[in-house]
Structure 1
Amino acid sequence: MAKGFGSDPVTALQGDNDVYLDQLMRFLERINTGDYRAANGADAAIGTHVRHVLEHYETLLREADLPINYDRRTRDLAVEQCPQTAIASLQAVRAQLHDLADMASEQTLTVACSCATDGSERPTVVTSTLGRELMFLQSHTVHHLALIAVLARQRGMSVPTDFGVAPATLQYRASTAPPEGSCAR
């Protein structure tokens, strides 16, 4: 759980999501447009991953009263091409995320997804909760930040060691770290 956030699940999950969105904000504030747009081989550009992450948050925020369908997200190519546009979008998402405090973590939501592998367009519809969707968004964001870190390092950029690292991995690393001052043999 993020430091300084309450024990209410929605508040805690908002804070936990915001930790990763803040990592992304700090990263975007120092990237140049060329590195942001550059595709490395077959991989998507950093900007593509940023757009994808932000659109998932925007979908939840926009469709919380409707069946949420992350496949129907609005693809804003300006966010993908311009880090400054992405920063503005990220600031809006972070502000709106804090507005969810009035919703209960157990509030029932309906989520639809194109999961069919048989070529049909039938959506799979399930019941979820706000808490579960915030957990999904955090996990999804961590996954894409990890990909962004790989792409950035391939371009010679410095990325913090905890950028895009899941909480469980950070906890594991902390539990297996040698005590300070000890020597490895």
Structure 2
Amino acid sequence: MAPTAITHPESAVVSSKVTQVPQDRSTVVEQLTDVARHVMGQAIDLLENTLTDDKQLTYQSKYIPGSTIGKHLRHARDHYALLSKAVLDITSTGASNSQAPVTLSYDARIRDTPMETSITAGIQAFREAVQQLDDIAKYAPEDLPVVLTADTGPYQQALNTTYGRELWFGSLHAIHHWSMVRVIAGELGLTLNANFGIAPSTINYHKDGSKSKI
């Protein structure tokens, strides 16, 4: 029996706006890098202009057990850094001229690093991550092949993906953690930028007049 086609009734369409995909694919990495720069820039601004004491980085949240601002910042930044390292490792060896894909694992994160407890270390770590992405944007195409290895618990997986897709994942993932940073900052009585921790799609949705917070 032939599979049943999946259709999308008009009632399921929530917006008539169609996202325009750039025709020049060479601009995609530049755009995604710009987004990543903005997202990490929010963290840098938090560290430079909102936090006033290293102790605020290690304050244990009452609402998100085990969470601190420092841990969320480090965790999110690590995903950008691991992606950059994977690309830089293969390009520095000249393997980028072959068909060998970039090999990436987000499970190789290093915990309890200085940026979890030091404002100064955090600023430096984010600036280095931004610089690495800027360097990669000069030559890496958005469809640069990447093999993502993942420990999913009971299974080890190897998934085919691309640099562009993982770069966007890094930003979306960071925004999710910024939303939790916002909660902890609220516990500390700190006021953050209105768009801190808000997904770009949600910001655009609000521009259309929606009152939704999600």
TM-score w.r.t. the length of structure 1 is 0.86
- C-alpha distance in structure 1 between counterparts of 2:210 and 2:200, whole Å: 15
Computing the radius of gyration from Cα coordinates, the structure with the larger value is: 2
Q: Which residue does 1:59 correspond to in 2?
A: 82
Which residue matches 1:110?
A: 147
Q: Tell whether the 8 Å contact from 1:21 to 1:94 is kept in structure 2 after alignment.
A: yes
The residue number in structure 2 matching 1:33 is: 54
The residue number in structure 2 matching 1:13 is 32
Report the residue type matching 1:143 in the other structure.
Answer: H
1:146 partner letter: S
Q: Deviations over 1:137-157 (max 9, x none)?
A: 010010011110111011100
> Counterpart of 1:35 in structure 2: which amino acid?
Q
Aligned to 1:133: 166
Conserved in 2, the CA contact under 8 Å of 1:55 and 1:75?
Answer: no
Q: Distance in 1 between matches of 2:30 and 2:116?
A: 29
- Structure 1 unaligned residues grouped into runs of 5+: 1-5, 179-185
RMSD across aligned positions (CA): 1.7
Unaligned runs of 5+ in 2: 1-24, 91-101
Q: Equivalent residue of 1:176, what SS? A: coil
Distance 1:21 1:171 in 2: 20
Aligned-residue offset at 1:105: 0.3
Using the aligned pairs only, state the percent identity.
25
Query: Partner letter of residue 22 of structure 1?
Result: G
Instruction: Give the AA of the match of 1:154.
Output: E
Q: What TM-score comes out, normalization by structure 2 length?
A: 0.75
Aligned to 1:169: 202
Secondary structure of the equivalent of 2:146? strand
Q: 1-side partners of 2:81 and 2:26: how far apart? A: 25
